[in-house]
A and B are shown apart, each in its own frame.
Chain A
Amino acid sequence: MKRRLLLLILLMLLLSIPILPARAQAPERSEAFVYAVTAYDGLVYQSAFVPPNIETLYLMAGVENVLAARDTLIYFWDLTNRYEPDWLAKNIPIEGTLEISQHGKQIAEVHPTDYVIQYDTEQPIETRALFTGQAAVDAYARFLELQNDYRDASYLYYTLLETYRKVVDEIVASGKTIPAEDFPKPPQPPAQLTLYSSEIARGYVVNLPPGSYSLTLRLPDGSLVPGSQRSLVVFTELDEGISYTIMPETRWTRPDKSMIEGSTIYTLPDNTLYLQPFIQKKYNDQAYARMLDPQDMISRRDQERWVTFVPYNSASLAVFGGEQSTIEMEGYKIVQLAGSGLGYEVRPFDPESMDSSSFEGFKISLTSNSDAVNIFLLDKNGNMVPGSRREVRTLYTDRSVGLYALSLLPILAGLVAHFARSRWVKRIKVEG
């Protein structure tokens, strides 16, 4: 009886232990319709993935963006709280007609087309191009041709270099003295191929004015693709201007930024600053963030953000205050000081004796004679670049005692008021 009771208790204890779920190493995948977005971010094209739980897509206005409809496998990744696609497991493009509507009225039908994105990596903004249809095929063929030409030129260069080395080795081995003008010239390497090209892909090219739209994909048989209906917000920049990266000479590795026009850059007396101007644009925080990452949860609709793009190089800096002058952008080289101690010096870049510059910028030195200057950029035609105006001032950090002394003025005023009232009250005579 006792034994049976013990067995029963043991059995109950075993049953009371919660069954722990087996921890799967690979999360469960499910089939889903998704959009793959190739969106222009103001500088380059970036790819993003829109899972079924994201209802709204964000794209920039007035530029060509590409949407691709895919049937793929997705899974939820706990560590990042995000859905991820498994493109390798399944990636089937869905071709049909992308219907775009606004205020309940269809405004466009977009059919899939070939596309290629190309740009010069040294000037991405100016040379960015999205080719579609036959132009995409031609552009990609041209890119392959350039790639082949570069490969052939590189092959030729290395062959000539090999030959050149052999000739030089022979000259050295012979021990002859050859005049410099008779010495063989080394071959010149071919110019780098700076053109970037994506491969030919298919997608729905969308170029819309700012506004709110809805999207849906219709198959050739007339049926709608389940899950393809989404909202689309097309936005534009709210403002544009110039930001400055500011590097103090004695602290060039810790730069600061000045983003807002009319703001002031404070520094200490007798300090030298280097300013680098950049093109920047202001966007709605949520629209921009969700264009780059549709699953973003941090950005806010009621906030704005400045996005910095490429350096604004073709300009000079006008300086007003003290003496009026125009400063040209120059290259500077950081040179480590000789010896075992730490230290460096910022020197003007000299192409004769230096390989490359460490940075390019405008040098501004504030002295005791000129402790506040106004600056702005001048473009090639000598016109002021909008959004580039700033003030640079020295800050008197050694006067904090005076700052606190000034704050005691109300207490003094209160004492004066108190004594004045006391005297006034004393003068009151109560008759009778």
Chain B
Amino acid sequence: MTNATLPPHASRIGNSTRNAVVLHSARVLAARSVWSIFFSKGVYILLGVAFLSGALILHNSLRAAERTLIYTATLPQIVPLLVISFLVATFLALLSALHIARERDRGTYEILLFGPVNAAAFILGEFLAQTIVFGMVVIATFVWINLVTWLLHLSYNLKIIVVLLQAIGMAAAVSGMGILTATLGQRTRSALVYLTLIIIFMVGIQAGDDVVSTMLAIGGQPGQALLFLRNALALVANIIEWVSPFAQMMLGVDALTNNDFLSVAAHLLITITQAFIYLSLAVILLDRKGARG
């Protein structure tokens, strides 16, 4: 953040007052975005679809148990939780990218800069809004998962709360990624396209790596081409996991399943660091580009 982007009167005030102004502006912008999302249909429809997907996964497990008479799992609720978190976090990231890009596109951001708003307050406001909305979704998911646990007589474990905490970290990082992409893209459409492609690439590599590894594990003697593909995918996936909040979430859940709580904390820390880096980069970029950049 530089003084050049702060409102004219800000250069005459102290650091603590300036931070207070930035935080206040961020809170006002966040509240505006939260109400906007809260009264839009999209988030409810998406949450309904996410819950239905989770229900479908659990129903599948029930069907399997009916056939085999046994079903062993550490926590059957984890996969539905992952699906719900991924869907909602991606939706909110797209929404944050849309908000940021549209405000710049329409010139609203430029008008905001005439008030007590700078790039940091603008980005922080959007980020806070997405995190608050995701927090509310997490509360709704927590209620849903408890009802489902009671309904089906599933085992309950405090690990569910840890997964939800991991989901908040993941959503924060995905939201940061969306905001960064929006500051990179010139137009709303290009920002959304970039973000969609990045998410597809990250999740696709991860899924491809898992699928090819599973094929190799069950397929007997592998061909050289498949081995090469697996090694290439594994290499790319290993690099991507440092920047992908989705990969960190998966690794964290794996560690949780194996009762490796130190790794869980490490992956959560990496996710929070990702969010911080994405947001800091977004602020720096927006600062440099300015309102019309």
- The smallest C-beta distance from A296 to any residue of chain B, in angstroms, reads 10
* A409-B144 in contact (CB<8A): yes
**A258–B72 contact, CB under 8 A?**
yes
- Contact call A394/B153, Cβ cutoff below 8 A: yes
Residue pair A268, B47 in contact (C-beta under 8 Å) = no
* Residues A262 and B144 in contact, CB atoms below 8 Å apart: no
Provide the residues of chain B in CB contact with A248, threshold 8 Å. 68-70
Q: Which of A262, A407, A421 has the most CB of B within 10 A?
A: A407
Q: Which of A254, A261, A403 contacts B152 (CB 8 A)?
A: A403
The reply to whether the CB of A414 lies closer than 8 angstroms to some CB of chain B is: yes
Name the B residues within 8 Å of A421 (CB-CB): 39
> A100: shortest Cβ distance to chain B, in Å?
30
Residue A267 CB within 8 A of the other chain: yes
1/0 contact trace for B48-89 toward A, CB 8 Å? Answer: 100110110011001101101111111110000000000000
CA distance A139 to B45 in the complex (A): 75
Q: A265-B70, A414-B44 are in contact. Are A260 and B258 (CB under 8 A)?
A: yes
Residues of B within 8 A of A102 (CB): none
Measured CB to CB, the nearest residue on chain B to A264 is: B155
Across the interface, do A395 and B71 meet the contact criterion of CB distance under 8 Å? yes
**Known A266-B65, A403-B148; contact A417-B59, beta-carbon cutoff 8 A:** no
B44 to A411, Cβ gap below 8 A?
Answer: yes
A356 interface residue (CB < 8 Å to B)? no
Using A297-B227, A394-B153 as known contacts, say yes or no to A263 and B74 having CB atoms under 8 A apart: yes
Instruction: Verify B51–A250 contact, CB threshold 8 A.
Output: no
The answer to whether the Cβ of A220 comes within 8 Å of any Cβ in the partner chain is no
Given that A263-B72, A302-B238 are contacting pairs, would A410 and B44 also be in contact in the complex, using a CB cutoff of 8 Å?
Answer: yes
Partner of A264, one of B39, B74, B238: B74
The yes or no answer to B160 lying at the interface (CB within 8 A) is no
B234 at interface, CB cutoff 8 A = yes
Q: How far is the CA of A267 from the CA of B59 in the complex (A)?
A: 15
Q: Let me know if B73 and A263 touch, CB within 8 A.
A: yes
Question: With the chains together, A372 CA to B157 CA distance in Å?
Answer: 14
A400 contacts the other chain (Cβ, under 8 Å)?
yes
Q: A81-B221, A263-B73, A407-B48 are in contact. Are A251 and B153 (CB under 8 A)?
A: no
Which residues on A sit within 8 Å (CB–CB) of B257? 260
- Are A404 and B153 within 8 A (Cβ)? no
A369-417 interface with B by 8 A CB criterion: 371-372, 391, 393-397, 399-400, 402-404, 406-411, 413-415, 417
Query: CB-CB < 8 A to B68: which residues of A?
Result: 248, 251, 254, 256
A251: which B residues are within 8 A, CB to CB?
A: 68-69
The yes or no answer to B4 lying at the interface (CB within 8 A) is no
Whether A29 sits at the interface, judged by CB under 8 Å, is no
A264 to B222, CA, bound (A): 34
Q: How far is the CA of A262 from the CA of B260 in the complex (A)?
A: 13
Q: In the complex, A429 Cα to B56 Cα: how many Å?
A: 46
Contacts of A255 in B (CB 8 A): 70
Q: List the A residue with the shortest CB-CB distance to B241.
A: A302
Q: Interface code B146-175, partner A: CB below 8 Å = 1, 0 otherwise?
A: 011001111101000000000000000000
Q: A81-B221, A302-B238 are in contact. Are A403 and B72 (CB under 8 A)?
A: no
In the bound complex, do residue B44 and residue A266 qualify as a contact, i.e. CB atoms below 8 Å apart?
Answer: no
Decide: B222 and A298 in contact? CB cutoff 8 A: yes
Q: Which residues of A contact B74 (CB under 8 A)?
A: 260, 262-264
Residue A142 CB within 8 A of the other chain: no
Asked if A300 is an interface residue, CB under 8 A from chain B, the answer is: yes
The residue in chain A whose Cβ has the minimal distance to the Cβ of B140 is A410
Interface residues of B in 238-259 (CB under 8 A from A): 238, 257-259
Query: A107–B216 Cα gap in the complex (Å)?
Result: 39
- B114 at interface by CB-CB < 8 Å: no
Distance between Cα atoms of A16 and B21 in the complex (Å): 83
Verify if A257 is at the interface (C-beta below 8 Å from B): yes
User: Closest CB-CB distance, B285 to chain A, in whole Å?
Assistant: 33
A271 interface contact, C-beta 8 A: yes
CA distance A297 to B220 in the complex (A): 11
Q: From residue B268, how far is it (CB to closest CB) to chain A in Å?
A: 19
8 Å CB interface, B18-39 against A: 38-39
Contact in complex: A414, B259 (CB < 8 Å): no
- Contact pattern, A 333-350, Cβ under 8 Å of B = 1, otherwise 0: 000000000000000000
Which residues of chain B are within 8 angstroms of A413 by Cβ–Cβ distance?
44, 140
Query: Is A246 a contact of B72 with CB atoms below 8 Å?
Result: yes
Known: A250-B69, A302-B238. A297 touches B222 (CB 8 A): yes
Residues of A within 8 A of B47 (CB): 410
Determine the chain B residues whose CB is within 8 A of the CB of A254 once the complex forms: 68
Return B241 CB to nearest CB of chain A, in Å. 9
A395 close to B44 (CB less than 8 A): no
Interface assignment of B41: CB less than 8 Å from any CB of chain A: yes
- The answer to whether A402 touches B151, judged by C-beta atoms less than 8 angstroms apart, is yes
What's the Cα separation between A93 and B89 when bound, in Å? 62
Closest Cβ of chain A: how far from B142's Cβ, in Å?
13
Report if A408-B48 is in contact (Cβ < 8 Å); known contacts: A266-B72, A421-B39: yes
Closest to A413 in B: B44
B213 — which chain A residues lie within 8 A by C-beta? 300
> Which residues on B sit within 8 Å (CB–CB) of A407?
48, 51-52, 54-55, 144
A90 within 8 A of B: no
Chain B residue contacts of A81, Cβ below 8 A: 221-224
Interface membership of B217, Cβ < 8 A? yes
Residues of B within 8 A of A404 (CB): 52, 55, 59
Q: CB < 8 Å: which of A271, A304, A395, A410 contacts B62?
A: A395
Q: Is the CB of A417 within 8 A of B39?
A: yes
Cβ of A273 within 8 Å of any chain B Cβ, yes or no, is yes
The answer to whether A400 and B59 have CB atoms under 8 Å apart is yes
B44 near A265 with CB under 8 A, answer no
Residue numbers in B under 8 Å from A261 (CB-CB): 259
Contacts of B157 on A, CB cut-off 8 Å? Answer: 262
CA of A246 to CA of B69, assembled, Å: 10
Question: In the complex, A412→B270 CA distance in Å?
Answer: 37
Judged by a CB distance under 8 angstroms, whether A80 is at the interface is yes
* 23 sample A-B contacts, Cβ–Cβ < 8 Å, listed by A number: A81-B221, A246-B70, A251-B69, A257-B72, A260-B259, A262-B259, A264-B73, A264-B75, A266-B72, A266-B76, A267-B65, A394-B153, A395-B153, A396-B151, A399-B151, A404-B52, A406-B147, A406-B151, A408-B51, A410-B45, A411-B44, A414-B45, A417-B38
* Closest CB pairs A-B (n = 9): A414-B44, A407-B51, A410-B47, A248-B69, A264-B155, A266-B71, A263-B74, A411-B48, A410-B48
Q: A266-B154, A298-B227, A403-B152 are known contacts; what are 4 more A-B pairs with Cβ within 8 Å? A: A268-B66, A302-B238, A403-B151, A414-B44
